[in-house]
Structure 1
Amino acid sequence: MKVPRTVRIDSGKKTEFVFVVGNDLCVNLNRNAPSKSKFFSVKCSSDVQYSINPPPTTTSRPTPPIPLNGNSTLNFTMTRASEQENDNKLSVWYYDEKKEILGKAVLHLTAIEISLDVDADRDGEVEKNNPNKGSWKWGPDGHGAILLVNCDCERSYWKKPDHMQKGNAVTRVSDLKDMSLMVLRTKGPAKLPEGYKLTMHISQSDAEGVRVFRSKTPPVVISESFGSLFYNDFVKDYPLVLSSKDLSQEVMYLGGESEFKFYVEGLKFPDVDFDGFIRINLSLLEPICKGVPETPIFTDQVVFRVAPWIMTPNTLDPIDVFICSTSDNYEFVKGITKLAEKSGCTINICHEYKNRGDRWIQDELEFGYIDSPHQSFPVVLDSPRDGKLVDFPYDELLGPDFGYVTRVPERKDVSSLDSFGNLEVSPPVTVNGTNYPLGRILIGVAFPTATKGRNMTKVVQEFLWAQKVQEPIALFSDWLYVGHVDEFMSFVPAPDRKGFRLLLASPDAGYKLFRDLQSNGHGKATLFDGVKDEKPLTVDEMLEDDNFHSQNRYVQSCIDWNRDVLKRELGLEDEDIIDLPILFKLVVEKGNENQFRAVAFYPDMVNMIVLGKNLGIPKPYGPKVDGRCALEAEMCSLLEGLGLNCTFIDDFASYHKRLGEVHCGSNVRRKPFEMKWWNLQM
C-alpha cells in the first residue's frame, strides 16, 4: 500500500516545498493550527489536486470553511513538473468559531520528476522508472539489474584487473562496456529552490563491492524549447562518484528535461561474506536553516545483483585448447594439436620458457565466464596450487574482455586437492523436479569420517558455493594419490536420454574384460608391450595377483560411493552411466608409510579431453588381440555408438608416469550456456 509522506505547514508563514511527481503528501491540519481554530478551508493552483479527510459535506471548490478536528488531514498531489520555481501554490485558511479568519499557511510548490533508472527488466536498455528497479527476483518473469565484476584488463602493460586499478577515474572509455549503465532522469525548472540538492549514496557494506563513475562533463542542454537535449559524447575521463571512501556525493540537477549517465562497476564476486546484492540510493534533501542538517524528502533506490562466475561442462562446444610444451612431450603436443584442429578449435601452446616445466595446465586454472544483458566475457579462475604455471593465468590470459579471479588461502591450507583437476561441472540436469540448467559443480574432498584427510581449501569451496547457480556436490577423492575427481569420472555428449553420459572408471569392468580375454585363450597377451622402460605383464600374471585384485576391490568401493552420490545428486540412472575398464594400484604416500592411496595402473582412459564429438583418450597400451589393443577396442565399442570419435594419444612417459593424463595436461575454453543465469528459478 502506498503511504503518503507527511509534511508540515505553519500558520502565518510562507513555505517553499519541492514536490516529486508521483508521490502523495499528507498534512495534519490540526497540528500547527492557530489557537481557537474551529474551521478551515483550502485553495490551490490548478495543477494541485487534493482531498480532505474526513471528507467535507460539500464538493464545491474552493471549499467553504469546514469543521476542524484532531484528525483532519489534507492529502495532495501533482501530476506534472513545474516550468518555473514556486509556480504552484496551496494555502490553508483557519477560522474561529464565528468563521472569522485567524491565519493562513501558504505552501509554494515546485514540482519535479526524478528517477534513478537501471535495466531492471534485463533487456539491455535502461527504461524509465521501472516499478521493480528497487528489488530483485529470479526467473524468466523476474526483474532486477545485473552488475559485472570488472575483472578484465584494458591495459597491455603493467596489468591489473580493471577493478583493482588505482586512481579515481576511468581512463579508457572502452572499459565502460564492462560496467552497468545507470541513468538519473529529471524534469523541472531550470534550477531547484535555494538549498535543495540531490545526493547519491551507498552503505559502507555495499561500498566494498561497487564503484560509481560519471561523465566528467555533464550533458549540456542545448535546447529546451523543443523538448530535446543534445549531449557532449566526447569526454574521455569519468570521475569517481561513489566508493568505499566516498559513500555520499551531491549530484548535479541539470534543469529542463535531462538525463545524466552513471557507470556502475562491480568489484567483488559473491562470496561467504557477500550475497551479491548492491543498493544505490538517490535522495532529494530539503534545507531547514543554516547550521541544521538537511532532511531527505524523497529517496529512490535501485538494486543490482553481481553476476556469478559460471563453469562450462564438456557438453558445451569448445573454442580454445590450451596445452604446455615440454622437452619430453612432443608426441602429446602433436596429438592434441591435430585433434584440436579436427574439432575446429584454436590451439594455444604454452612453451617451456613460460611453463618452466610445469605441464599440468588443467590443475592451474579453470575457465568460466560472467554474463549480463549488456556484456559477457570469459573469466579464468586461478587455482591456489601455484606451481611453475602460477603466472600463466594472470600474465597470458588476463586482458581486454578476458577476466581473472582467484582465491588465496593460508599457505598451510593448500593440498593437491586444490588443483583444478579436482574441480568439474556436470551438464544440465533435473533432480527430483529441481532443475539445474547450468549443471552442478563437482569437487573432491575427504571421506566424511576421515580425521586427517585432505580437502579442497575452504576459501575456494566458499567461493564456489556462493555463486549459487551451480550448486556444488562433494565427492570422495582423497583415496587417490593425486586426489582429483577427473581421475575417475568424466562427461561426454550423447544424442539421447539426458544429452550426456557419465563415464566412470571401473576396476570391475576391467577385471571382466581381462577375464574374458583369458577365457578366450588370450591369457598370454601382454600389457605395456613396446613401452620403453616398462616390463610387459601378461593377462594371466595380472589376474593371478590376489593382492592387486584386493587393491582394485577397494578402489571399486570408493568409486561406487561416488557413483551413488552422483546418481542421487544428478538424478541419474544406471543407463546414464558407462563403466570404463580401468585398473588402479595402491602406493605408499610420500612421507607417510602407513597411508596408501591409488594411482592408475595403466593410462587412465577416463581422464580424457572432450572436444565436441571428438575424444582425446590416453593410449592404454593394453593386451593386443588380433593386432588391436583390447582396451582401445572396448572404449570404441562403448563410446562410438553415441556418435563419438575416439582418438588415442600417447601420454605414457610424459604424463602417465608422472601421475597424470591427457585431461590433466590440457584445458579447454568453451562457449557459454545459452541459458541466462538470471532466469533460474531459485
Structure 2
Amino acid sequence: MPAPGGIRVMRVLVRSGNVLDLGADTAPTPRPMARLLFRELRGPGVAVVQQLTLTRRDHLTDLRNSTGNVESLPPYAGHPHGRLVYGTGRTRRPDPAFVRLLTGMGQGLQPPVTLATDWLLVGHVDETMHVVRAGNARGWTLLVADPRTAARLLRRAGAAGAGPTRLFPGSRTVGELLGDRAFLAANDAAAGHIDAQLATMLAATGLRPSEIVRVPVLFGASESEPSLLKAYTPGIPNGLSLTDREFAAPDPHGPVVGGRDLFRQAARDALAAQGVRVRWVADLSWAHLLGGEVHCATNALRDTSSTARWWTP
C-alpha cells in the first residue's frame, strides 16, 4: 500500500475459526495451536486477525472453519479484486462470525462463491479444486478432482494384470476395489457432487468446461460416517502452488502399470499442458491418512514485490 517513504507491505495472517471443546466442564476456547501466530509471527509488517463465535459445536461442523475451506479466485472480468470461495451446506456451515471476517476483509469487493461441501467428511473446498495458471485469456483455470478418470485408470490397471497390487500400504488391492460395488458407487456419487460444484464455478467465472484441468482422485465412504465421502487416494488438487509454474501435489499412490503410476502420469501431463510442473510430496502418513493433504498442512507467505498496484485505477 502507498505510504510516506514508499510502498509498505503488511501481511495479514488469518487465524481459523476453529474451537477446542473439551466437554461440558470446560468452556470452548479458540484452538490453542494458533496462538503461535501471535507469539512467533506478529510484529512489524505482520498482523494477525481472528473473529469467531465461542459456541459448542460437533467436530465435523467445526472442521468447516478450517482455512482449507477458504480459497480465492484471481481477478477476472467484473471482479478486478478476485473472489472469495468457501464451502458450506444445509446442516453444517462455517461460523457466521468467521465468514463475516473473511468477507469484511474484502470490503465488499470480493463477493464470495459458495460451494456445496456437505457431502464430504471434512467438507473443504480444497479437497476438489485448486486454481492454476493457464494459457487462456484470463491466465488461470481450475484444477479439479476427477473420480471418473480415476476409476477408468483403475480398470486399465486391472486389465493390465495389476489386480493383486495395493495402491499403498494398508489399502485394498486394485482387484478388490474394482470388485466392490459400494466403493464404485461412492466414487460415482463423488463425481456427481463435483459436477455440481463445477457448474457453480463455471457460472460464476465464465470458464468453459474445455478449460478445466482434470486429475484422477478416487473417493470412498468414510468408515466413521458412511453417508459422507472422502478422498481414498491422496487428492492431487489439494496441494500448494509454489509459483505460478510449480505445484506441490500430494503423491497420489495410483495404480502402477509397467513401472508407471497412472495417476501421476495423468496429472503430470494435464498440468504440463498449462505450463505447470508438478513436485510430488509424500504426504500419505502425515496428512492423507489423518484426513488432510499438502494444502491442509501448509501455510504460505507470498512474495508481493511484483504484485500489481491494486490501489491504482
Q: Is this a same-fold pair by TM over 0.5?
A: yes
Indicate whether 1:537 and 2:173 are aligned: yes
Q: Which residue of 1 aligns with 2:200?
A: 565
| Greater displacement, 508-517 / 662-671 | 508-517
- Choose the corresponding residue for 1:660, options 282, 288, 292: 292
Q: Which residue of 2 aligns with 1:231?
A: none
Structure 1 gap segments, 5+ residues each: 1-121, 126-176, 178-372
**Residues 133-152 of structure 1 correspond to what in structure 2 (within 5 A)?**
none
Following TM superposition, by how much is the alpha carbon of 1:381 offset from its aligned partner in structure 2, in angstroms? Answer: 1.2
Q: Which residue of 1 aligns with 2:135?
A: 495
1-structure distance, mates of 2:311, 2:204: 20
2-structure distance, mates of 1:124, 1:663: 33
User: Hey, which of these two has a bigger chunk of strand by percent?
Assistant: 1
Q: Which residue of 2 aligns with 1:456?
A: 94
Paired residue type of 2:173: L
* CA separation of 1:556 and 1:677: change in aligned 2, threshold 3 A: farther
- C-alpha contact (below 8 Å) 2:157/2:163 kept by paired residues: no
Give the alignment's Cα RMSD to 1 decimal: 2.3
- C-alpha contact (below 8 Å) 2:10/2:45 kept by paired residues: yes
2-structure distance, mates of 1:391, 1:478: 29
**Residues 484-633 of structure 1 correspond to what in structure 2 (within 5 A)?**
484-519=124-159, 521-524=160-163, 526-529=165-168, 531=169, 534-538=170-174, 540-589=175-224, 596-612=227-243, 613-633=245-265
Following TM superposition, by how much is the alpha carbon of 1:551 offset from its aligned partner in structure 2, in angstroms? Answer: 0.8
- Choose the corresponding residue for 2:103, options 436, 449, 465: 465
Q: Which string of whole-angstrom CA distances, capped at 9 and with x for unpartnered residues, describes residues 467-496 of structure 1?
A: 212111111112111111111111112233
2-structure distance, mates of 1:525, 1:499: 43
Q: Which residue of 2 aligns with 1:477?
A: 117
- C-alpha contact (below 8 Å) 1:528/1:536 kept by paired residues: yes
| Greater displacement, 598-607 / 487-496 | 487-496
Larger Rg: 1
Indicate whether 1:397 and 2:41 are aligned: yes
**Residues 25-64 of structure 1 correspond to what in structure 2 (within 5 A)?**
none
Q: Which residue of 2 aligns with 1:129?
A: none
User: Hey, which of these two has a bigger chunk of helix by percent?
Assistant: 2
Indicate whether 1:671 and 2:311 are aligned: no
3-state SS of paired residue (2:268): helix
- C-alpha contact (below 8 Å) 2:50/2:101 kept by paired residues: no
Indicate whether 1:411 and 2:55 are aligned: yes
Alignment: residue pair count: 294
- C-alpha contact (below 8 Å) 1:527/1:621 kept by paired residues: no
Structure 2 gap segments, 5+ residues each: 19-29
Following TM superposition, by how much is the alpha carbon of 1:678 offset from its aligned partner in structure 2, in angstroms? Answer: 6.3
3-state SS of paired residue (1:550): helix
**Residues 255-274 of structure 1 correspond to what in structure 2 (within 5 A)?**
none
Q: Which residue of 1 aligns with 2:279?
A: 647
2-structure distance, mates of 1:678, 1:407: 30
1-structure distance, mates of 2:11, 2:288: 30
**Residues 25-174 of structure 1 correspond to what in structure 2 (within 5 A)?**
none
2-structure distance, mates of 1:571, 1:383: 30
* CA separation of 1:374 and 1:513: change in aligned 2, threshold 3 A: same
Paired residue type of 2:41: L
| Residue identity (%) | 27
- C-alpha contact (below 8 Å) 2:141/2:207 kept by paired residues: no
- C-alpha contact (below 8 Å) 1:444/1:477 kept by paired residues: yes
Following TM superposition, by how much is the alpha carbon of 1:668 offset from its aligned partner in structure 2, in angstroms? Answer: 1.0
2-structure distance, mates of 1:536, 1:463: 43
**Residues 225-236 of structure 1 correspond to what in structure 2 (within 5 A)?**
none
Q: Which string of whole-angstrom CA distances, capped at 9 and with x for unpartnered residues, describes residues 512-558 of structure 1?
A: 22233344x244262325x3xx14512x3322211111111211111
Q: What is the TM-score of this pair, normalised by structure 2? A: 0.86
2-structure distance, mates of 1:576, 1:429: 15
* CA separation of 1:509 and 1:675: change in aligned 2, threshold 3 A: farther
- C-alpha contact (below 8 Å) 2:88/2:116 kept by paired residues: yes
1-structure distance, mates of 2:3, 2:231: 50
- C-alpha contact (below 8 Å) 1:525/1:624 kept by paired residues: no
1-structure distance, mates of 2:51, 2:224: 27
**Residues 322-333 of structure 1 correspond to what in structure 2 (within 5 A)?**
none
Paired residue type of 1:516: R
Paired residue type of 1:461: V
2-structure distance, mates of 1:648, 1:487: 17
2-structure distance, mates of 1:578, 1:568: 17
3-state SS of paired residue (2:227): strand
3-state SS of paired residue (1:463): helix
